[in-house]
Structure 1
Amino acid sequence: MVNKFEIPQEYSSKLRVVEPRDRRTDDEIIKALLNPKVVTSEKNLWAFWHSGVESMPDWCKRNVASWVRILGSTWAVRILDTVEGSPNHALKWVDPALLPEAFVEGKMDGPWIGPHSADLLRGAALYTYGGAWMDVGCVMIRPFDRIFWKQLEDPSTPHLIAVPWLFDTMMANHFIAARKGNPFIKAWHDLFVHFWRGRTNNNGIGHEPLIAFCETLGWSGYAKAGFVWDMKVDGFTLHQYAAQVLAWWRLCTIDGGGHDGEFDYADYAEKHILWIRGFKEMYGAQVVVGCEGQDLWDAFNTKLDADPKSEEYQRASKVVWGLLTNCCWQKVSHAKELTTRPDLGMIWTTKPGTDNAPGTFGELFRYGAEHFEQLRDEVLIKDWKKPDTVMHKGLFEP
């Protein structure tokens, strides 16, 4: 088969041409996902879109279809929803006893019902079935078996969970993978659901005594890593929005307090979690052009026939070939009501088709993610160590 795009000589030692593991069209794959497969193994990829997979923005549909092609038939992709009568309805897959009343009774409100519904489901789905959870805004580049799953299923390795590491004890929850029935995942999920008791939205969660440190968290960790967003909200509001991440942070800093039924969570996090370097492996475009949505859009929308010596061409080339050779996936955010100006996900949603417009670096990126395979054997891992000071506290102990 003639390749639509060729691998430049300068990247021939980093990439090779492969055929997608699934030859179906996007539409055929999306239609198939309306009738989810029964669970037969732990190789499950879970995601969520409240109104169903068919109503996702086109660029997110392309993401999900690409997941299926890159992962192949050994992984089962399911997009959960809250559509009445849907085979993908979350409550058909997750025990309602694991979820807060607001979700079960459909009473969640506020501007972030979708993201917080996903937050409430991710731990429950992973604990119940095992596998990975990924936000639909992620453009996959490298198959999971070559990132983390071989380590997680290998009994000779200690790792049972994989997460993106950002800085200190900060993880990113757009992706997480774990073996079925993992006790750390269950504790994390239980703690997050505890925050939601008696609530219909996230207002006030940041004042929970168990994550009181949220009130002092600012932007320094992100800025030190070189990631600066033009935020519409303050640090407290952002971290309150991302309370599930703070639940993880707390879990990694306590030893269980010696209580029956608990264990040393911090020690477990050090020994059994594979901390993947998130910024370099999952935010490759931002590493090159920064976090402004318009700048990211400009890079992917740059024409392939632009002047190769121009700044815009060289920047776009660095973004796309950097992603294809050195990243696991590209995380694209909507950042609804969080940033002053639209993030890339919002722009792609309001400008359909610009994520893969013909003749652009975006089209090359989409093609390369499925047809080029990285030759590097390993991804970047953080040798994470538990804090010097670990709190002698139980899961729900202030």
Structure 2
Amino acid sequence: MAAYSIPKEFTSELELVDKPDTGSTEDILAELNGYNPVTSEKNIWAFWHAGLDAMPSWCQRNVADWVRICGPSWTVRVLDVAPDSPNHALKFASQDLLPEAFLRGTMDGPYVGPHSMDFLRGALLVQHGGVAIDVGCILLRSMDRVCWDRIMDPESPIEVAVPVMHKLFLHLWKDRNNYEGISADPALAFVKDIDFSEAADWPWDFKIGPQHVLEYVSQVMCWRRLTMLEDAGDGFNSFKYWQENILGIDARHENWAAEDAVGFGSGARLYELFNLRLDVNPETTDYKEAYNLVWMLLRTASWQKVTHGKGLTHAAALGTLWDENEGKDSAPGTFGDLLRWGSVHLRQKRDAISTKRTARSPRILREGLLGPSEAGAQ
């Protein structure tokens, strides 16, 4: 990978990392393929059903860069369900924190992988701590500087994941093998009343209906329920906890900044921009757009989530295009190569990420965690 320099116009926002990790991707991945016991809360958890070696190469590069960016105080693991794997999910996650469909291997439908990670996300964070990241994320800022330092600050009210959300999610998946129809559960009765105008800032070109979208993200709907639940009869006020103890990351600008700049459903355009060579005429529209995009990401984003959008959207997602075109995420001499280099070799000077005040829900629920019929509900 070539060495680049910071344009003068951005030197007030970026600086070179003093001693960047120069280990090869191959060596990093080889080390990650071994078993590493949990010794602290500073864990980065990810999942790929068939194992690290079976992941698309661009995702492997993502993971290797996590190691480089976050440094030795963090332990990165990509769990799997491959037989005899040293990183099999059940070596780390307790079975009582996972649904029967995952344990029996009976999950079906097109989203077994994403929903498996949803289960593991809750289980691993409750059991061990750390952060859980999709392998499609291009990290642009150390996790210490994204959220961890603030979470660990004894003077900060910001806290960690809420175990009751995982309890609710497991309840929804009881006796299920896929997500279809999950919104029929009384605990998600509020879903049918969601006003989709609030999603106007996220104009994905979905080819499935709103109800199916919300069922696909049922783990998010569990969180949505907790933001409304004031008194579940268990002494925990999740409505208040949401407003006072959760770090409200401005996801559109910190995690989806490429879509914010170029447009949602713009996978093909993003593919073109990241694959554009740096030595083309800098006065062209394409060059200017690619230049502004990449340097904006390096300066102001925590990570860029690259999605596959499998069967969810009309337009081809960037992740799918990178799957189909080996090496085009960071071909030498392209803006994608610059992005990869910059993520490891540059450090943002901004002290804090962009956050939003956690919004007070206009609707308040006073019932059991698992729904109005739960024993002890009020």
TM-score (norm 1): 0.90
Confirm or deny that 1:314 pairs with 2:288: yes
Shift of 1:310: 1.2
Q: What amino acid maps onto 2:68 in structure 1?
A: R
Contact persistence 2:2–2:332 (CA under 8 A)? no
Shift of 1:23: 2.4
Q: Distance in 2 between matches of 1:27 and 1:53?
A: 12
SS of aligned partner of 2:208: coil
Shift of 1:9: 0.4
Q: What amino acid maps onto 1:386 in structure 2?
A: R
Confirm or deny that 1:197 pairs with 2:197: no
Shift of 1:36: 3.0
Q: Distance in 1 between matches of 2:251 and 2:144?
A: 17
**Closer, same or farther: CA 3–377 of 1 in aligned 2, 3 Å:** farther
Deviates more, 1:53-62 or 1:303-312: 303-312
Deviates more, 1:114-123 or 1:208-217: 208-217
Query: Per-residue displacement from partner, 1:185-238 (whole Å, max 9, x unpaired)?
Result: x11001111111111111111222211232344643332x2x322212111111
Which of 220, 230, 235 aligns to 2:210? It is: 235
Confirm or deny that 1:336 pairs with 2:317: no
Q: Distance in 2 between matches of 1:302 and 1:96?
A: 47
Deviates more, 1:152-161 or 1:319-328: 152-161
Confirm or deny that 1:276 pairs with 2:237: no
Quote the residue 2:376 is aligned against. Answer: none
Shift of 1:299: 1.4
Quote the residue 1:22 is aligned against. Answer: 21
SS of aligned partner of 1:50: coil
**Closer, same or farther: CA 340–220 of 1 in aligned 2, 3 Å:** same
Contact persistence 1:19–1:370 (CA under 8 A)? no
Q: Distance in 1 between matches of 2:327 and 2:42?
A: 31
Quote the residue 1:181 is aligned against. Answer: none
Quote the residue 2:225 is aligned against. Answer: 250
Quote the residue 1:72 is aligned against. Answer: 71
Contact persistence 1:42–1:129 (CA under 8 A)? yes
Tell me, which stretches of 5 or more residues in structure 1 are unaligned? 162-177, 179-183
Shift of 1:367: 0.4
Q: What amino acid maps onto 1:255 in structure 2?
A: E
Confirm or deny that 1:267 pairs with 2:263: no
Question: Which structure exhibits the higher relative contact order, with contacts defined as CA atoms closer than 8 Å and separated by 6 or more residues?
Answer: 2
Query: Per-residue displacement from partner, 1:1-29 (whole Å, max 9, x unpaired)?
Result: x9710100000111011156532211111
Query: Per-residue displacement from partner, 1:250-290 (whole Å, max 9, x unpaired)?
Result: 01110133x2x341111011111111100011111111111
Q: Distance in 2 between matches of 1:71 and 1:38?
A: 18
Confirm or deny that 1:39 pairs with 2:38: yes
CA RMSD in angstroms, aligned pairs only: 1.5
Contact persistence 1:43–1:76 (CA under 8 A)? yes
**Closer, same or farther: CA 397–74 of 1 in aligned 2, 3 Å:** same
After TM superposition, list the pairs within 5 Å mapping 1:63-142 onto structure 2. Answer: 63-142=62-141
Tell me, which stretches of 5 or more residues in structure 2 are unaligned? 373-378
Q: What amino acid maps onto 1:88 in structure 2?
A: N
Contact persistence 1:160–1:272 (CA under 8 A)? yes
Contact persistence 1:207–1:215 (CA under 8 A)? no
Quote the residue 1:59 is aligned against. Answer: 58
Q: Distance in 2 between matches of 1:92 and 1:373?
A: 35
Q: Distance in 2 between matches of 1:268 and 1:336?
A: 34
Confirm or deny that 1:299 pairs with 2:273: yes
Identity of aligned residues (%): 42
Which of 260, 272, 275 aligns to 1:287? It is: 260
Q: What amino acid maps onto 1:351 in structure 2?
A: N
Number of residues paired by the alignment? 371
After TM superposition, list the pairs within 5 Å mapping 1:162-181 onto structure 2. Answer: 178=161
Q: Distance in 2 between matches of 1:262 and 1:21?
A: 47
Q: Distance in 1 between matches of 2:20 and 2:7?
A: 23
After TM superposition, list the pairs within 5 Å mapping 1:350-365 onto structure 2. Answer: 350-365=324-339
Contact persistence 1:45–1:77 (CA under 8 A)? yes
Q: Distance in 2 between matches of 1:33 and 1:273?
A: 31
